[in-house]
């Protein structure tokens, strides 16, 4: 049985207190820190990049979980690896050559994740399941925090978990977007084990919110 892990998304953090807020999540049991990179092309918004990662990864022992929402991410894998990423997730929809992009992440000595948008079928992942450490099922359209969870994502998570079990593949399943204390159990029950939460962690007391999430995550192991 896989451990359940919380990955707070700093997109929703107060950047004037980022270091402090990260520490609060780490102290209360969040093992990962989710770092959303947006380029204004693959998704409408622009967030942050290498210099920020380079600075923050030094002040925490959390796993730097880098979610690249950028066009042709293969161009930037080396730079994010050098900046402190531990796990790099690319989108199926935005790579000219998905296999080559995953290989590039591995060649940099990092864990690799592959992600699909809400409108992309789970079946497209089949050729890559053996070569990734994690699959990220987006439960909102990538691009912004604070959106509503798309309920049909639960079916996709189940389908993916069954597909992987049938092939004896043990990659992690991460889910990202619209997850709160009120619906996280459904996401875990569907088969996910890495939970991304932005607004639900940083909207309010980040330490306290992390503690509450961790209680549920531990109960469900």
Residues with catalytic function: 36, 176
From 24, 36, 133, 172, residue interacting with Zn ion (rule: CB under 5 A): 36
Query: Which structure tokens are listed for 15?
Result: 């950047």
> What is the helix (H) or strand (E) element at residue 84, kind and residue range?
none
DSSP string of 146-174? SPPP-TTHHHHHHHHHHHHHHTT---EEE
Q: How far is CA 29 from CA 88, 154, 164, 200, in A?
A: 21, 25, 27, 15
Closest approach of ligand DX5 to the CB of residue 166, in Å: 28
Other beta carbons less than 10 A from residue 16's beta carbon: 7
- List the one residue from 4, 9, 25, 209 that touches ligand DX5 (CB under 6 A): 9
Q: Which is nearer to Zn ion, 40 or 127 (CB)?
A: 40
Stretch that binds ligand DX5, among 22-30, 93-101, 151-159, 191-199 (CB under 6 A): 191-199
Among residues 76, 80, 176, 210, the one that binds Zn ion under rule CB under 5 A: 176
Contacts 24+ apart (CB under 8 A), 120-125: 120/92, 120/93, 122/156, 122/159, 122/160, 122/163, 124/92, 125/92, 125/160, 125/163
Q: Which is nearer to ligand DX5, 12 or 77 (CB)?
A: 12
Smallest separation (angstroms) from ligand DX5 to the CB of 12: 5
Angstrom CA distances, 112 to 60, 109, 128, stand at 21, 9, 11
68 binds ligand DX5, rule: CB under 6 A:
no
Size of the site for Zn ion (CB under 5 A): 3
Nearest residue to ligand DX5 on Cβ basis: 198
**Residue 87 has which token pair?**
């796990």
Nearer to ligand DX5, 103 or 216 (CB): 216
Nearer to ligand DX5, 160 or 175 (CB): 175
Q: Which stretches of the chain bind Zn ion, using CB under 5 A? A: 36, 67, 176
Q: Which stretches of the chain bind ligand DX5, using CB under 6 A? A: 9, 11-12, 34, 36, 67, 140, 142-147, 176-179, 196-200
């Amino acid at each position: 049985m896989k451990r359940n892990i919380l990955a707070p998304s700093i997109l929703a953090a107060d950047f004037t207190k980022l270091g402090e807020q990260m520490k609060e999540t780490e102290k209360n049991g969040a093992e990962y820190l989710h770092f959303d990179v947006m380029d204004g092309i693959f998704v409408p918004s622009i967030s942050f990049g290498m210099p920020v990662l380079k600075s923050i990864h030094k002040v925490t022992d959390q796993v730097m979980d880098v979610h690249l929402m950028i066009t042709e991410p293969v161009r930037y894998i080396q730079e994010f690896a050098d900046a402190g990423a531990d796990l790099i997730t690319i989108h199926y929809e935005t790579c000219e050559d998905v296999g080559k992009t995953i290989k590039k992440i591995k060649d940099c000595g990092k864990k690799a994740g592959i992600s699909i948008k809400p409108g992309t079928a789970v079946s497209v992942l089949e050729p890559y399941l053996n070569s990734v450490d994690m699959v990220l099922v987006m439960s909102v359209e990538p691009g912004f925090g604070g959106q509503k969870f798309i309920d049909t994502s639960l079916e996709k998570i189940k389908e993916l978990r069954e597909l992987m079990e049938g092939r004896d593949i043990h990659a992690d399943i991460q889910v990202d977007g619209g997850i709160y204390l009120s619906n996280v159990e459904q996401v875990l029950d569907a088969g996910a084990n890495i939970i991304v939460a932005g607004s639900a962690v940083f909207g309010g007391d980040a330490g306290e919110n992390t503690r509450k999430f961790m209680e549920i995550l531990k109960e469900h192991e």
